[in-house]
Structure 1
Amino acid sequence: MINSPFTRWEGDDIHGRRPVLTSAWVNLDILFSRPADAPRHVIVTGLDLTGVVPGRLHGRFPSVEGDWYGIVNYEIGYADGRRDKLSLVDQFVPFTALRERR
């Protein structure tokens, strides 16, 4: 797990320390945007990189430009609707693609 300077921790040294996970929405349309004129070739067994999926934010990093990026765990589903999902851990995601999930 990536430990950022802004990672909050819970627990103690005796029982173990864990990063505090903040529920977030990950906007895949922003994260994986495609140019409007890009040709499409549909692959029905491919990943569905559209919509919004739940995630768990556990770290933050600022850029030199003042933009913020989160370290997020989330899952992406497949277009064919199968139950299995691609689990992504410790992903570097711009805050523009994140929203707090309540």
Structure 2
Amino acid sequence: MTLKSPHTRWDGDDVHGRRVVLTSVGVRLDRLFARVAGTPRHVIETGLDMTGEVHGRLHGRFPSIDGDWYGVVNYEIGYADGRPQKVYLVDQLVPFHVLRLLSETKPH
């Protein structure tokens, strides 16, 4: 199931079925989960790695009353110890300033 926004883009038609258009984005975790300046670090080796950028799929958009835009995104966050399991986050509302459009590679 996909969270539907007034600005969700759809592909297909009523006869053959409709599906949400997913847009590849980078989610900048450092910006989304910014640490308060001066806060001391306490490293937990088995904790979530909230640094860098992870791949996400944008599938909805909402404006705020102030004119800021928020995207509805699915993405994964890995663990600092490198284990293969990840935390999968679905339908997360994130500000557009933490998203970066990723170019899709199309087959020739």
Q: Return the TM-score normalized by structure 2.
A: 0.90
Looking at structure 1, the residues matched to 79 and 17 of structure 2 have their Cα atoms a distance apart, in angstroms, of 36
Task: Quote the residue 2:23 is aligned against.
Answer: 22
Q: What fraction of aligned residue pairs are identical, expressed as a percent?
A: 69
Task: Quote the residue 1:8 is aligned against.
Answer: 9
RMSD: 0.9
Tell me the number of residue pairs that the alignment of Structure 1 and Structure 2 aligns.
102
1:43 matched to 2:44: yes
Looking at structure 1, the residues matched to 50 and 16 of structure 2 have their Cα atoms a distance apart, in angstroms, of 39
What SS is found at the alignment partner of 2:55?
strand
How many angstroms does 1:14 deviate by?
3.4
Task: Quote the residue 1:54 is aligned against.
Answer: 55
Q: Show structure 1 runs of 4+ deviating over 4 A.
A: none
Task: Quote the residue 2:87 is aligned against.
Answer: 86
Looking at structure 1, the residues matched to 53 and 102 of structure 2 have their Cα atoms a distance apart, in angstroms, of 11
Structure 2, unpaired ranges of 5+? 104-108
- Amino acid in structure 2 at the alignment position of 1:69: Y
Looking at structure 2, the residues matched to 99 and 61 of structure 1 have their Cα atoms a distance apart, in angstroms, of 17
